[in-house]
Amino acid sequence: MSRRPYREGVTDSYVYAAARTPFGRFNGALAGLRPDDLAALAVRGVLARTPRLDPAGIGDVVWGNANGAGEDNRNVGRMAVLLAGLPTSVPATTVNRLCGSSLDAAMIASRAIETGDADIVLTGGVESMTRAPWVLPKPARGFPAGDVTAVSTTLGWRLVNPRMPKEWTVSLGEANEQLAERFGIPRDRQDAFAARSHRLADAAWRDGFYADLVVPVETDAEGGVLDRDEGIRPGSTPEKLAGLKPAFRPDGVITAGNASPLNDGASAVLLGSGAAAERVGTAPLARVAGRGASALDPQDFGFAPVEAANRALKRAGITWSDVAAVELNEAFAVQSLACVDAWGIDPAVVNTKGGAIALGHPLGASGGRILGTLAHRLKESGDRWGVAAICIGVGQALAVVLENVTGANATDGHTTAAKATKNATGKNATGKNTAGGNTAGQSREAAR
């Protein structure tokens, strides 16, 4: 007896909207907020950008989180759904691929949409590195006589299996010192890259780029509000950074100034099929055109984005010569430079709105930040192709290729996106009314 295929084919998946909280410093303005509350703020923020979407129509929520040991309460995605006031019928899961968790969440969502398992999926991630708890291992036997050491869960290795080779479990900083030696990337080049991150982040905020992406957060009962990423230092220069002491080796090249800081924050990205545009109530921003994952020896994690992005590009059917925008999470300046060098791309297309060294790197939220930023960069510039890539501790990396489907790109051989634009707005991709004598507003009302 023959069986019918589950689905005749696959559909495209799209990024429809993105939002995030400002990223706060360690022990900074967001220190008083629990991670589940931060996640709920991001959920509400992205839904505020799609007000015609009935939250009950969200097929799933996939959330990233790198800790899970404290107030994240294991499945922080489900906690965010409940705290944000979504219907209890909306399911949610939490994924952990460390720094890549929220980009992984978006990749998982895009696959679910493409295979028909869901039509609309809300993704994102959260981290409160400030509030990450200390943990105590349970004793092998009851009533131990000796002391027990509390272990921080903020960052890096913890409770390491003694069977792991020592070279695998070096600190993140030491791993990147090794990367600097391997590729001959000097301190002054790293400091210049870090200063550029701060300069571009400050300019992007002043130019209003982040106004549509960032949700202001009330930080205390007295009415305090954080409405900008807290770690940006507009006055940072290579000369000032050169005065900082090495953090991991006495004669090293990595400092607190050319590495990403510890942060708190949350991000959210709404994905859906082309057919979901009418229910979402807005045209999509970008199509998920390719995905890639890769892994190396654990200590080489900073270089892993090279192959992840190359794989994503191959699956998208394009090359680096087609790419006009890159969002690469700046865990360390040295690993970012190593990746850019290996790709052979123009550094000017990388992180033009600042990167994690300035904006911050709350682990579970960073993947959603770079994906949302990339979609908005492509919309702003009109360029067609972009890559979001992120390195991940213990030797991994993820990457996503986005195709801009706004403006003229919506009709550039992409009929699904053009149809989605028309369905959502009553206009074609160029903005011309397609609803007969009706206005676009009347068409939107009819779509309800």
Residues forming the active site: 99, 361, 391
Q: Which residue has the tokens 């009109």?
A: 382
Contact 16, 272 (CB under 8 A): yes
Whole-angstrom Cα distance, residue 351 to residue 200?
A: 8
Rounded distance between C-alpha atoms, residue 155 and residue 172, angstroms: 9
* DSSP string for residues in 374-429: HHHHHHHH--SEEEEEEEETTTEEEEEEEEE-SGGGGGSS-HHHHHHHHHHHSB-T
**Helix, strand, coil share of the chain (percent; to 5):** 40, 20, 40
Strand pairing of 120-128 and 60-64? parallel
What would the 3-class secondary structure string for 171-236 be?
Answer: CHHHHHHHHHHHHCCCHHHHHHHHHHHHHHHHHHHHCCHHHHCECCEECCCCCCEECCCCCCCCCC
DSSP assignment of 107-159 equals HHHHHHHHTTS-SEEEEEEEEESSSPPEE-PPPSSSS-SS----EE-SSS--S
Helix (H) or strand (E) holding 273: strand 263-273
Distance CA 360, CA 262 (A): 7
Task: With beta carbons less than 8 A apart as the criterion, state whether 23 and 365 touch.
Answer: yes
Dihedrals phi, psi of 293, to nearest 5 degrees: -130, 145
Distance CA 398, CA 372 (A): 15
User: Which 3 state secondary structure label does DSSP give 338?
Assistant: helix
Distance of CA 95 to the CA centre of its chain: 13
